[in-house]
Amino acid sequence: MIRVLEAILSRAVTHGALEIVGSDGRLRRFGDGLGRPVRARFVDAATERAIILDPELKFGEAFMDGKVIVEQGSIYDLLDVLLSNLRGDSQPTWPAKLRGLWRVATRRLRQHNTEKRARRNVAHHYDLDGALYRLFLDADRQYSCAYFEQPNDDIESAQLAKKRHLAAKLMISPGQKVLDIGCGWGGLGLYLADVCEADVTGVTLSEEQYGVANARAAERGLSGRARFELRDYRTLEGPFDRIVSVGMFEHVGVGHFEEYFAKVKQLLKPDGIMVLHSIGRFDGPGDTNSWIQKYIFPGGYIPALSEVVPVIERQRLITTDIEILRLHYAETLRAWRERFLARREEAKALYDERFCRMWEFYLAASETAFRHQDMMNFQIQFARDQHAVPRTRDYIFLEESRLREREQARTSLRLAGE
């Protein structure tokens, strides 16, 4: 079976220096030999066979189980070589192609996220020990794509810039009612309540996030303006002046897009504005990576714009701005991966070695996908009335400048009160 794998890699890997030690103990080299060599070893023939038949699922499992051992470099280096060669125009093997067609055809079944199932899916990932996320996220616990205004920005600055960028697009006036769908640990909602002086309601299905978000609001004296609820967005009653959703739409499921935007329209005031921030794909409709779906985000799906915009149109909502964030998430994931690895032993104390391998693979695979494959982020701003938003984008940059000044003022006030 190693000969089949050798033939596949010989055809696919044309640059870099990849070295594979098969279960027969023989070393094989692939690529043009340029760059630092990356070497991996397959423990047994069964692992080679499994990866050939189902690489999307079995490669990650083999790394988790110690059946693929990276002897030179890291799992990130290995994935970087592989995915930089296996770009979107690469032809998969026929078993992988058939499996992909089947998964796309049956994806609505896996993404049928009823309220009960959605809550269970969220708990799988977001109700892990809160100490885990503190190991690698920024101080505000932003668990979504940051916005790197400058190449050398650190993760703290880039996550603050993300919140500012979203707030600028929302054009919030003091006292306006804002809904944050999928509020996470409350960071964005607290920013909007503090800096923008909005009246914020955040909703999450994670008990861990719900508790932390409300505790943070109380600690900062913002409970009167920032309230976080443990409930499904489909049960909410409006109306709201502004709605924002960051990193939640990926959990909706393609079969629920119509339901999502119909509810948003119902919740939004006639002159209201919404900004949707989501991971997206450049290559059109597809399906969730099977390893990611099994181990990281059950029920999740990364949509293509071609699947989202038509639903917005059918709901008679008006798209007023679309921005594509390229490579910002790759840089975000790089920062998370480096911070996680620096505190890997602490993560191991919380869980175990297999969990750490799983998490390292998740961060490395995600980063390389955003660097080399067809992943990006999009922000869609839409409204019920096209007059709700200025005709040019200048207002975004002017509002960001104003918000920077308010951030500095709020920081100065907090420091003076300490």
- For residue 342, give both structure tokens: 């620096």
Q: Hey, what domains does the chain have and what are their CATH numbers?
A: 2-105 (3.30.1050), 115-417 (3.40.50.150)
In contact, 249 and 276? CB cutoff 8 Å: yes
Q: Read off the pLDDT of residues 106-164 as tens digits, 9 standing for 90 and up.
A: 666 666 667 767 667 667 677 788 899 999 999 999 999 999 999 899 999 999 999 99
pLDDT score recorded for residue 416: 43
SS (H, E, C) 249-314: HHHCCHHHHHHHHHHHHHHEEEEEEEEEEEEEECCCCCCCCHHHHHHCCCCCCCCEHHHHHHHHHH
* 241 sits in which H/E element: strand 240-246
Cα 285 from Cα 12, distance rounded (Å) = 24
pLDDT score recorded for residue 101: 61
pLDDT score recorded for residue 98: 62
pLDDT score recorded for residue 22: 94
Per-block mean pLDDT, blocks of 10 residues, the chain (418 long): 83 95 94 96 94 92 97 98 77 58 62 68 74 95 97 96 98 98 97 98 96 96 96 95 97 93 98 98 90 91 96 98 98 98 97 97 97 96 97 97 92 47
pLDDT score recorded for residue 124: 66
Q: Match 């701003």 to its residue by tokens.
A: 381
Cα 251 from Cα 267, distance rounded (Å) = 19
Cα 73 from Cα 20, distance rounded (Å) = 12
Bridge partners (DSSP) listed for residue 41: 21, 69
Q: Compute the radius of gyration of the chain from its Cα atoms.
A: 23
pLDDT score recorded for residue 413: 46
- For residue 93, give both structure tokens: 């093997």
Cα 13 from Cα 81, distance rounded (Å) = 8
